[in-house]
Every structure is written in structure tokens, then in C-alpha cells.
Structure 1
């Protein structure tokens, strides 16, 4: 039997990168998957590629009402919600705290932290009914600092704290809640945005001297989504090639 047979999962930011890899693996393991993204064209193409087991909904994680609508549509389409992966996020501007744009700060916090709260707020009642798992995408920067990325770092630290608090609240209610902390992952966005020298430097910051792959993060998400992790809740799980071992 497949690990997620008869399960319904929601993956935010599922049209590319880590979210896409998670959606693909979950479907391979038997789940019905709802993916959300702001990129309607890309999201629709991915849903077609993944077939009848996938539904795409255009949504903005930073808008509470969008999160509510997505949960309602997921349950209407597939009958329940067992798993949610709150993966949608943005990098934000690079600047010291004293020079950081107030508008950019709000934008990053709205997507990367408020978006996770909004998602959980509407996902939890349905997942509590069905029993299941919530996986919040934090980062290695959910536990350490990084110069010129204060908004991103603050948001990801917040995601880890939110995850731990919610895990205590729902530990006896049939819902496990965990956070993943990816290191720097090779995605089209990262590869295109950085020079060859910058990529080489980032690689050197990992003990394995390379960037991670989206599929490697997806495998951890699968474990946390499945019954194989039945005693795991409130955890923060780095998948970082040794970045945090420094």
C-alpha cells in the first residue's frame, strides 16, 4: 500500500521548486493533492501534468480569505483534508535592518509568517476532523541569522515558534505539526539569481559542498505526512547538507 493512500493534501506554493516536488511525490504515494500558487499559468500546467489527482487553485497565502477559500474548495473537491504543507514563501529584499524598506518588511512577514498562520487557522478544523499532519516550511534561517535578510530570518524563526505552540495545542487532537528547515536548495529561482561565484560560496557553506535538491526536501515532507512519523510532533527538522553543523 502506498504511504498516502486515500489521503488529501494541500500544498501552498506548489507550482514550482520544493512545493512542486512535494506535490509530485505525494501523488506518487497515493494522495489527492490541491496545489496553490499566484502563478496561474504555471499552476494550471502542473495540475494538468499531474492528472486527476491534482487540483490547482490560484491563491495568495498572505490573504486570510484566500486560505479559507482554498480549504473549502479542497474539502468540496476531495471530501476531506488530512495533510497541509504551508510552503509558500518569498525571499524579500537584501538590506541591513536600519535600511530595510518598511513596505518590504511587511510583505515578507505577510507571506512567510502570517501566511502560515492563516493557513493553519483554516486547515486545523478540517484536519482535526480527519486526523493528520501539518508541515510548515521554515528554513535553516529559522534557527540562525543571516546578514541583510532580517525579515526572512524573523519570519522563519516565527514559523518554528508557531509550529511548536500549535503542536502542543493539538497533540491530543489527532494532528501532528512539524517544521522543515531546508538549507539552500537548487531551484530555477536561486540558480538564475546568483552568479557562479555566489553559488560556489553557498555550496561551500554546506558540509556536503553542494546545494540541496527539491526532491530531497520532499522525501522528508513525505515522512512527516505519513503514519511512519506517528510520534513526531512539534519538531524542527533541518535538511541542510550539514549547514547547521558549523
Structure 2
């Protein structure tokens, strides 16, 4: 890629590259590392016209996820949909593939060093706020 002065690198992290407690500390740490490598590579390789970006999907019914969580495809998708923010649609592998196609396309020709979340808004909320109860006002 360097001699051609052109290229596209797309890595895959996870929503765990942004939020803690979405998975184990080892998994979260590894996804932060993928994002750090993506950003650093984007800086180092940008001078050669090489774009480097990262995809960070929400939970998918992959073999690894099913093994770790202990659910089949349908039950895992239902659980992730219930915990997710965007309702009426369930994340599929095709959605992640479409995001990768965008980053690899000419439409993203000036996008580099970006972490694209395919998470239906999961990483923009703090779920603990949903559990917070305001104290009753005293008269």
C-alpha cells in the first residue's frame, strides 16, 4: 500500500471500545487496543494516502457471543434488542458488512481514523439513568 500510495484498512472492534461493562475487562481492553492501533495507523499511514478506520458493532449472534452468553441465535438477538436503544430493528451481520462497504467506498474517501459504531445508539446512553429514582419532594 505504501509504494502504491493508496489503500484502505478496516479493523473491527466493538461497542466495548467506548463503554465499559458491556463485556469482560479482557475483552474491553482488547477492543480499546484495536481502536488505539486504528487511530495510530491512520496518523502514520495517512501521509501515504492510506485510510484506516474501525467498525464497532453492537452484539451479534456470532458463535463466540453465543458461547459466552450461552444463548441460541434467536434468544441472543431478542436479549440484545431488549437492551438496545433503537427499537424495531435488530442488528444483523449484513448491517456490519454494509458499514464496511461504506468505509471502503469512494463515498468515504476523506474518512480516516474513525470508529464507526453500528449500535443503534447503544453507546450514547447511560443505562444507569433509567434506574435512577428522583427523591420525592417534601412539602
TM-score of the pair, normalised by structure 2: 0.75
- Point out the structure with the larger helix share: 1
Query: Are the aligned partners of 1:184 and 1:211 in contact in 2 as well (CA < 8 Å)?
Result: no
Match of 1:168 among 43, 60, 66: 43
TM-score of the pair, normalised by structure 1: 0.44
Which structure has the larger Rg over C-alpha atoms?
Answer: 2
Q: Secondary structure at the match of 1:129?
A: coil
Deviation at 1:132, TM superposition (A): 1.2
2:116 matches 1:237: yes
RMSD: 2.2
- Point out the structure with the larger strand share: 1
Query: Are the aligned partners of 2:16 and 2:22 in contact in 1 as well (CA < 8 Å)?
Result: no
Query: Are the aligned partners of 1:191 and 1:199 in contact in 2 as well (CA < 8 Å)?
Result: no
Deviations 1:62-94 (A, max 9, x none): xxxxxxxxxxxxxxxxxxxxxxxxxxxxxxxxx
Aligned length: 120
Deviation at 1:147, TM superposition (A): 5.9
Aligned residue runs from structure 1 range 91-240, under 5 A: 127-130=1-4, 131-146=6-21, 149-187=24-62, 189-191=64-66, 193-194=70-71, 199-209=77-87, 211-240=90-119
> Hey, what's the Cα distance between the residues in 2 that align with 1:222 and 1:147?
26
> Hey, what's the Cα distance between the residues in 2 that align with 1:165 and 1:187?
28
For structure 1, list consecutive stretches of 5 or more residues without a partner in the other structure.
1-126
Deviation at 1:207, TM superposition (A): 1.5
Distance 1:183 1:147, change over 3 A: closer
Higher relative CO (CA 8 A, sep ≥ 6), structure 1 or 2?
A: 2
Deviation at 1:167, TM superposition (A): 0.6
